[in-house]
Amino acid sequence: MKIRLFCVIIVFAFILLPISYAEPVCEFSYKLNRDNTMELLDFYPYPTNFRDTSWKDSKLVAKFYDGNNLETDLVYVLFSFLIPDSMGYRNSIIVSISRPCNSDWKTLKFFYDKKEIYSQQIDDLMCNNNNICENYETSLICSDCAHSSQDGWCELVEDNICDPDCISGDKDCEKDNLILNNEKIESNLNNFIEKEIETSSNSYYLIPLMLLLFLAIFFLYYKHSTKFFNK
Ligand SMILES: [Ca+2]
Ligand SMILES: [Ca+2]
Ligand SMILES: [Ca+2]
């Protein structure tokens, strides 16, 4: 029995092990043109269990360099301008590369057939450390962005803050919605009561007016009938 329990624990430990090692991975997407010009389309850091699946035989290579211009990472980029089931060759395609985020990164360079075709400073892209959460920065890899703030990254943490980036899942947003709904119901009820009081108080002004009108009609009728009988 004890051996069976031990085996179950070991299996669970192996299942949970990769989850506990989820690390921020930085994904860069570029538009690659046939004349080998490039432009950044998107940069997105997200936590995952990174597995290097890059194709080890490509003419297009991406290399990361640190502040001392030393190569820290290398990615072979899979690409083809010939798209199956399309009209043939495309003039431009989208290429993406992913690597575990590294705060030492300074520059990302692309080489085609060992010739440099593109270079971009990426340290500021990841975090420019100016205490302003902007551009591609997220709290995942940049201290400029406060946790659970609006930074394009949804943090599913119960921290009494509703992260506006979460469409669903953040229980704090459900609490906020509940408070907001209760406040709305309370405010509607107050408005209704105020309107009722206003309407009622307006009616009170009408009572003496109605009474005066009634008396005036009665007086005219009485005067008219007295004149008639006196004739
Ligand atoms: Ca910033
Ligand atoms: Ca966020
Ligand atoms: Ca939260």
Q: Rounded CA gap, 170 and 160, in Å?
A: 10
Ligand nearest to the CA of 133: 1
Largest distance between two CA atoms of the chain:
127
Phi, psi of 40 (to 5 degrees): -70, 130
pTM of the shown model = 0.67
- CA 158 / ligand 3 centre spacing (Å): 5
pLDDT digits (tens, 9 = 90+) for 74-131: 999 989 998 776 678 889 999 999 999 999 999 999 999 999 999 999 999 999 999 9
- CA 66 / ligand 2 centre spacing (Å): 28
- CA 160 / ligand 2 centre spacing (Å): 13
- Residues 144/149/155/161 CA torsion (nearest 10 deg): 130
Ligand nearest to the CA of 140: 2
Q: How far is CA 100 from CA 46, 65, 136, 141, 210, in A?
A: 9, 14, 16, 11, 83
Phi, psi of 22 (to 5 degrees): -60, 125
Our CA angle for 151, 101, 133, nearest 5°, is 25
Ligand nearest to the CA of 162: 3
Which tokens is 87 given? 């009209």
Q: Give the start-to-end residue ranges of the domains of the chain.
A: 24-153, 157-231
Architecture of domain 24-153: Sandwich (2.60)
pLDDT at 211 (0 to 100): 79
Q: Per-residue pLDDT averaged across 208-219, rounded?
A: 78
Q: How remote is the C-alpha of 117 from its chain's centroid?
A: 34
88-92, 154-158, 217-221: which has the minimum mean pLDDT?
217-221
- CA 210 / ligand 3 centre spacing (Å): 61
More confident residue, 160 or 175: 160
Q: Percent of the chain, pLDDT > 90?
A: 53
- CA 165 / ligand 2 centre spacing (Å): 5
pLDDT at 31 (0 to 100): 97
- CA 29 / ligand 2 centre spacing (Å): 21
Q: Rounded CA gap, 10 and 165, in Å?
A: 36
Q: Rounded CA gap, 135 and 112, in Å?
A: 29
22-31, 131-140, 209-218: which has the minimum mean pLDDT?
209-218
- CA 141 / ligand 3 centre spacing (Å): 18
